[in-house]
Amino acid sequence: MSRSEFRLIDQLFARLGAARADVAAGVGDDCALLRVPEGMELAVTTDTLNEGVHFPAASDPDAVGHKALAVNLSDLAAAGADPAWFTLALSLPDAASDWADGFARGLERLAAECGVALVGGDTVRGPLAVTIQAMGLVPAGQALHRRGARPGQGIYVTGTLGDAGAGLELALGRRSVSDGAVADALRARLDRPTPRLAAGQSLRGAAGAAIDLSDGLAADLGHVLAASGVGARVELERLPLSRELTAAVAEPEARLRLALEAGDDYELCFTLAEDNEAVLEAVAAACPVTRIGTVETEPGLCLAYQGEPWRGAAGGYDHFAGGTG
């Protein structure tokens, strides 16, 4: 069944997400009107997901809806922001109800869970692509940045690493797993990442630097080091690997490569001074957290395994290198 753009907006998106008193005008007006409280700064981020690049063509539309919002909320988490509003630009080959309905369900579920409201956007006919701009609020002067890492600070990550990369290999048929529960868990990490909002909020005003892991630990930590003008030593045996990843990937080096190089984990990587135990406990109350290394003065990323230099290359996901990821 086809539907016009206006019917699509009215039936699926007009009242999507949380009801918020700080929305003076939302979906249905030419512009959204939003109230930013005094003493707060506005954090804004935008991400685009293209079919065949950021998600396989056969992906569940519910999962695409979830992920499209989750990757933006993850950026807000890396800034320490409270999520508030988002806009949606949706390109569809046609207004087929089945795909759009499933997409809206996944979007709605996460938006309601995180208290964020859809306040505007656009729908067009074209190749399947989703662009979301998310906005959040952070107390003035307390936002997290990439540029604040300092020598001596510990380097930490939330959750586990490499699961989404293994899930992508399963989705593309590059890896097989006989245990259905393991396969489902890894695919869930790829399709429905969890934005670490509470962890990011616990870090504001305290972390030296923070970033979300979208393109792989090595690449994203490299961005922090470059912005901060420092280096780091990471102990690879400390990388948090899930039981499911260990079950699915028998080769230890392959696990480390997934943890270092695969994108889409959307965990947080942050630096924190040694005397911030209370902050670390607050993060740990929100999600698992692991120290993986130390910020050093000498620029560059030093990878070590059981005390010895690790000779493997460590890259990250490149949007212009081709493939699906």
Per-residue pLDDT of the chain (325 residues; tens, 9 = 90+): 344 555 555 555 666 655 667 776 656 667 778 888 999 999 999 999 998 778 888 889 999 999 999 999 999 999 999 999 999 999 988 765 688 889 989 999 999 999 999 998 888 888 999 999 999 999 999 999 999 999 999 999 999 999 999 999 998 899 999 999 999 999 999 999 999 999 999 999 999 999 999 999 999 999 999 999 999 999 999 999 999 999 999 999 999 999 999 989 999 999 999 889 999 999 999 999 999 999 999 999 999 998 888 876 555 444 434 444 4
Asked if 40 and 140 touch (Cβ cutoff 8 Å), the reply is yes
pLDDT at 324: 44
pLDDT at 196: 98
Domain ranges of the chain: 5-139, 154-309
Helices (H), the chain: 5-8, 61-79, 97-114, 163-171, 180-191, 197-203, 217-228, 243-248, 252-261, 277-286
Look at the block and give the residue holding tokens 């079919």.
51
Residues 6 or more apart in contact with residue 280 via CB below 8 angstroms? 156, 272, 289
Largest separation between any pair of C-alpha atoms in the chain: 62
pLDDT at 215: 94
Domain at 154-309, CATH class? alpha beta
Question: What topology does CATH give the domain 5-139?
Answer: 60s Ribosomal Protein L30; Chain: A; (3.30.1330)
Look at the block and give the residue holding tokens 């979007």.
107
- For β-strands 308-309 and 300-305, DSSP reports them as antiparallel
pLDDT at 275: 87
- Name the nearest CA neighbour of 264 among 51, 45, 54: 54
pLDDT at 114: 96
pLDDT at 12: 57
- Name the nearest CA neighbour of 254 among 134, 160, 162: 162
Going by the DSSP 8-state scheme, the letter that residue 208 receives in this structure is S
pLDDT at 164: 96
Residues 6 or more apart in contact with residue 278 via CB below 8 angstroms? none
pLDDT at 323: 44
Residues 6 or more apart in contact with residue 209 via CB below 8 angstroms? 144, 145, 146, 147, 148, 149, 224, 227, 228, 270, 271
Residues 6 or more apart in contact with residue 90 via CB below 8 angstroms? 103, 121, 122, 123, 124, 129, 130, 131
pLDDT at 309: 86
pLDDT at 22: 77
Average pLDDT, the chain: 88
- Name the nearest CA neighbour of 76 among 211, 216, 215: 211
